[in-house]
Amino acid sequence: MLAPAVLVMLVLFGGAMAGAVRTSVTPLGGHAGAGAWSTLLHDSEFHDAVAFTLRTAVLSTGLAALLAVLVALAARRSGTVVRALLAAPVPVPHLLVATVAVLWLAPGGLAERILGGLPFDVVHDRAGAGVVLVYIYKEVPFLVVLLLSAMGQGYRERDEAAAAVGVSPAQRLRWVLWPTIRGPLVVGCIVVFAYVAGAFEVPLALGPSYPPTVAEYALQRSDADLISGPSVAAAALLVSAAASIVLAALAVRAAKDPQGG
């Protein structure tokens, strides 16, 4: 019964990865070689793209996780309406949120009109603040949904029992809350990090013209040079994919290790 799903994933995903590897070592009409990889690894724009992508992904994931824990703690006893409002942005596409962000945060946007000015640029700014804000807006509700589903009746009873025997609030966070939310929070953060590191519609809409994210870099290379560009693009995307997979493996391992939590 597993065969259809496994076969589809092996053929399509395996085929995609094999295709990406093949494209990275075989330029259009050329001979197989590691030229694209060499170009990629010596390109300072790629180095900047990696640094910018990592910074954006770490900031977005870290801030979204922190805010999600705070919001979930505040909302753990809330009713259906509040929970529905908090979950509302989950089905909204990222690109749509980017459109809303431009409407509100661009120079002359609604936020500037209401507040009389913003303290710093958040659209197309070099630091990528607009990109991070969009991801926080999108990913906090996603993580809150995961956390609230873990913080059900069982958590409430354990927390109240701990409070009844005199465990301090800080100790309850350490010994009751953290073991309850560690699993879903880590899984959610892995999904968020991988998405932020690999998607390019939000950076294209809101990000700086330089540096690009790794995915934007790949798109630019594909468009700029139809002969060798796709090979460099495929190599860049494979680096991004490999990094996400390795980081996810490390995160899962840390989450499983009781000493690591």
Partner 1 sequence: MVRRRHRPGLAGLAGVALVAPLLALVVRAFADEWRSPALLPQRFGLRGVRIALGADTGSAFANSAEVALLTVVAALVIAWPAARVLGERRLRHPAPVFLLLAMPLLVPSYAVGTGLTEWFIRLGLDGTTLGLVAAHLTVVLPYVTLVLLAGFGPRLTAIEEMGSVSGLPPLRRLRLVTIPAAAPTVAAAALLGFLVSWSDYGSSLAIGAGRPMLPVVLLPFVGSDPQVAATLAVVFLAPATAALVFTVRAGRRPL
- As measured in angstroms, the least distance from the Cβ of 77 to partner 1 is 6
Does position 89 interact with partner 1 (CB under 8 A)? The reply is yes
Amino acid letter, 82: V
Residue of 54, 63, 150, 204 that binds partner 1 (CB under 8 A): 204
Residue of 56, 98, 128, 168 that binds partner 1 (CB under 8 A): 98
* Residue 141: Cβ within 10 Å count: 21
Site pattern 219..258 for partner 1 (x: CB under 8 A): x--x-------x--xx--xx-xx--xx--x----------
Residue of 34, 41, 66, 88 that binds partner 1 (CB under 8 A): 88
Q: What is the DSSP letter of 166?
A: T
Residue of 46, 52, 135, 137 that binds partner 1 (CB under 8 A): 137
CA distance 30 to 227: 9
67: tokens are: 């805010």
Give the burial string for 63-82 (b: 16+ CB within 10 Å, else e).
Answer: bbbebbbebbbebbeeeeee
Does position 1 interact with partner 1 (CB under 8 A)? The reply is yes
- As measured in angstroms, the least distance from the Cβ of 107 to partner 1 is 8
Does position 63 interact with partner 1 (CB under 8 A)? The reply is no
Region 10-29 residues binding partner 1, contact defined as CB under 8 A: 10, 12-13, 15-23
Does position 110 interact with partner 1 (CB under 8 A)? The reply is yes
Does position 141 interact with partner 1 (CB under 8 A)? The reply is yes
Number of residues this chain uses to bind partner 1 (CB under 8 A): 79
- As measured in angstroms, the least distance from the Cβ of 90 to partner 1 is 9
Quick one: which segment of 43-51, 57-65, 172-180, 194-202 binds partner 1 (CB under 8 A)? 194-202
Question: How far does Cα 184 stand from its chain's mean position?
Answer: 15
CA dihedral 233, 238, 208, 111 (to 10 degrees): 130
Q: Where are the beta strands (DSSP E) in the chain?
A: none
Give the burial string for 87-111 (b: 16+ CB within 10 Å, else e).
Answer: eebeeeebeebbeebbebbbeebeb
Residue carrying the six token digits 């996810």? 248
Nearer to partner 1, 209 or 259 (CB): 209
Does position 86 interact with partner 1 (CB under 8 A)? The reply is yes
CA distance 65 to 135: 11
- As measured in angstroms, the least distance from the Cβ of 39 to partner 1 is 16
Quick one: which segment of 40-48, 55-63, 168-176, 187-195 binds partner 1 (CB under 8 A)? 187-195
Which one, of 143, 142, 136, lies nearest residue 122 by Cα? Answer: 136
